Amino acid sequence: MLRRLLLATALLSAGVMGGLVLSGRMSVTSPSVAAPEPQQSAVPARPAAAALPNLSDIAERAIKASVNISSTRYVQVDPFFQLWWGGDAVVPQTSLGSGVLVSSDGLVLTNSHVVGNARNSDIRVTLADDPRELAATVIGVDQLTDLAVVKVETTGGAPLPWGDSSTLRVAEWVLAVGNPFTFSQTVTLGIVSNVNRHDPQLATYNDFIQTDAAINPGNSGGALVNSRGELVGINTMIYSQTGGYQGIGFAIPANLARGIMDELVRNGEVVRGSIGNLTLRTITASEARGNRLGDVGGVFVYNMYRSDPAYRAGIEPGDIIVRYNGVDVTEESQLQRLIAASKIGSTARVEVIRGGQRRAFEVPVVRRSAVPGRRM
């Protein structure tokens, strides 16, 4: 009886031990307070993807303000060619481009390279809602900014409202409207890639709006329109290794274009300051060191006329212009804009590096014009 009791007790103890082990509730360490269950941290909600804007209404209004421009100019045939091959002494050459209606009485803004030499060109404009070609009168041309204003006799047009190009932001939606490859009233969509593009590769006076909206030959002079239907730029050029669209297009900002247009309408030309017909080139600090011109980059004076105000004031070929009227100068287009904005009749303080030494000159500002003379 006692043996059975002891055996039962032993089996009961073994069962309890086995149960504790199997259930995993047996602690082989010192008792401790159980740690609280970890709480899930709050995860911020992902912002909802913005829906693409519906720009159909905007595009329809932009198309109504878009015009096609053809410019036919007559050029003299080489006399030697005509002697051997015959034909007319003067032959027509036609270029096609785009423009945008900016007033209800028929003012059209476009590129100067679209209208060509206004004196020898026959300009024709086709409105979006009128298949007729209308004769256009050239109001003014400004080759420095590549802008021109022409006028057609029409009433009741639907001009685009002006936008403020200074408020454009990178990645903002824009439409390019024009006549690429003669496909009339073509609309392409893209974004603003850069709002203030200036680069020695462009070799131009303007700061550009860069966009990836498709721009091709024939788009020149057409409208760049924001998502509010406002004119924010004039499509002007592309950067391409093939001659066609590669996602890098440039437009003249509307704020600049509007100012130039107003002056062309008022005066027929844009009056700018000048310190002479200098041939200039941007030079980096490393290039200056490599040519033993000092350690500072700026704008290298490559050539000039003896009659230039800059030469008469003491500036010479080989100088590096580094400062103009208190503004540090780093590239050619920047210097050209500073000079052009100078008041005619004023005196500009121009600082240069010559032989590694900084020098300053007081240069009279004259009216910009093609000054004949002898190059240095």
Which residue out of 98, 220, 333, 342 is catalytically annotated? 220
Specify whether 220 is catalytic.
yes
Contact call for residues 234 and 147 (beta carbons, < 8 A): yes
Q: Report which of 205, 283, 310, 292 is spatially closest to residue 250, judged by C-alpha positions.
A: 205
Query: Among residues 71, 142, 146, 207, which one is catalytic?
Result: 146
Maximum alpha-carbon separation in the chain: 144
DSSP string, 124-137: EEEETT--SEEE-E
- State phi, psi for 136 to the nearest 5 degrees: -120, 145
| CB-side neighbour CA atoms (13 Å) of 33 | 2
Q: Confirm whether 166 is a catalytic residue.
A: no
* DSSP helix/strand/coil, 7: helix
Q: Find residue 126's DSSP bridge partners.
A: 68, 133
Is residue 34 within 8 Å of residue 145, measured between CB atoms?
no
d(CA 98, CA 116): 13
Residue 146 known to be catalytic: yes
Residues near 22 by beta carbon (within 8 Å), at least 6 away in sequence: none
Q: What are phi and psi of 269, to 5 degrees?
A: -160, 170
Which of 66, 112, 113, 212 is catalytic? The answer is: 113
SS3 305: strand
Helices then strands, counting H and E runs in the chain, come out as 8, 21
- Alpha carbon 108 to its chain's center: 21
Catalytic annotation, residues: 113, 146, 220
